[in-house]
Amino acid sequence: MLNIIDLRGRTPSTSELRRALPRGGTDVNAVLPTVAPIVEAVRERGAQAALEYGEKFDGVTPAAVRVPAEVLGRAVDTLDEKVITAMREAISRVRKVHADQRPDSHTTTLAEGATVTEVHLPIDRVGLYVPGGKAVYPSSVIMNVVPAQEAGCRSLVVASPPQADHDGWPHPTILAACHLLGVEEVWAVGGAQAVALLAYGDDSVDLDPVDIITGPGNIFVTAAKRLVNGVVGIDAEAGPSEIAILADSSADPVYIAYDLISQAEHDDLAASVLITHDEELARAVDREIDERYTVTRNAERVAGALRGQQSGIVLVDDLEQGIAVADAYAAEHLEIHTENAREVAERIRHAGAIFVGAYSPVPLGDYAAGSNHVLPTSGTARFSSGLSTHTFLREVNLIEYDRTALKEIGPHIIALADAEDLPAHGESIRSRFEIM
């Protein structure tokens, strides 16, 4: 079922690897002409324009953009108790991890009377987008809300598409997750229009704009985030989800097959990649996938993803080359199924998150490992990080020098200002010590 990319017998450069490895992706630029008018309409006409686009794309207009508190409260009653318990446990674990991520302030003393203190200030208001397409994502609510709360953000709003089957409100499971997390502000708006409304707000209906927008979405959501970036901050331009698995002969082909299938279940464009130097394991995994993928309810979607150009088996000479390939691919999710898996994992430099050993599969991280599942895609793990408490914090320096400390460093500042032909900079220093 999976394409084979054979890299054995050669040592490709990093640039050759990036071209050779399976990679899907989407062309955000191609949809910008479609999305730009939506963003502009919402910027000009606010909630009314967003509701009009919701009627067009979602086939429903909610009674109001903001979901009433009683609707949020009732949503919990629609859930099975097992789901509520699972959500509470996931929230608890994610909260523990993200609480530990908040850094302490620290002060550096450069001379007597000369200090720089770095403090970490939360972003005031955040907008969290939760999609509502092929699946329901309460886990995305948890993964976006908890780090914002742990960062200490003053207010947050969750936006999720209205559902015709649910009286024009977002899916009850989404609303229930918001209620369990203590989120009081939820907007029934989705797609590019939601991103625009979060960015620009609408004073006429008491919808305040946000300072940063995070959360996954389709290509139209991604394009809208690109268009409003700079008006507000964004977390990333997320592409289709992906998994890479680095495995040797010690790996269980059934585990690997199911992990590749589970990732392919997300979307027809999802990427599932196995990297191994064991050809027998590669054949076994491909065989297991072919025999097992049809048991899932989303078999057609799985087949599309696994047969696509973005998925495949990469054959390498040895583990060393496998690590190099994994680093070049820079997967959103990387599983390590090798002997001494932790040791191998610690040698990886590029991955959104690394899942170590046979009993740390990606679905664990999707829901309840405690880590965040909003991760860099499309190779961007080479230079970016996943969502975390840090995403919602700003580092600010407090610079405090007394007169003696400034006088000591002053001649160096004046010399550098003169070298840059910015004499007023130097005069700013001199004015404190000389009669001008």
Contact 216, 190 (CB under 8 A): no
Q: Minimal CA–CA distance to 140: which of 199, 221, 69? A: 221
Question: 4-25+239-370 adopts what CATH topology?
Answer: Rossmann fold (3.40.50)
- Predicted local distance difference test score (pLDDT) of residue 133: 66
Distances in whole angstroms, Cα of residue 99 to Cα of each of 129, 184, 189:
22, 21, 30
Residues that constitute the known binding site for substrate: 241, 263, 266, 333, 366, 420, 425
Intrachain domains 4-25+239-370 and 28-109+123-234 with the same fold: yes
**One of 332, 335, 337, 350 is an active-site residue; which one?**
332
Distance between CA atoms of residues 271 and 265, nearest Å: 10
| Nearest alpha-carbon partner for 17 in 436, 328, 281, 292 | 328
Q: Pick out the residues of the known binding site for Zn(2+).
A: 263, 266, 366, 425
Catalytic residue among 166, 171, 333, 337: 333
Smallest CA-to-CA distance from 176 within 48, 29, 67 is with: 67
Annotated binding site: 129, 193, 218, 241, 263, 266, 333, 366, 420, 425
Q: Where are the domains of the chain?
A: 4-25+239-370, 28-109+123-234
φ/ψ of 386, rounded to 5, equals -75, 175
Please say whether the structural domain 28-109+123-234 has been given the CATH code 3.40.50.1980.
Answer: yes
332 as an active site residue: the answer is yes
pTM: predicted TM-score of the whole model, two decimal places: 0.93
Binding residues for NAD(+) are 129, 193, 218
3-state secondary structure of 374: coil
What does pLDDT average to in each consecutive run of 10 residues of the chain (436 residues)?
93 89 85 97 97 93 95 94 96 98 97 98 97 82 98 97 93 96 96 97 96 93 96 92 97 98 92 97 96 90 94 97 96 98 98 98 97 94 96 98 97 97 96 81
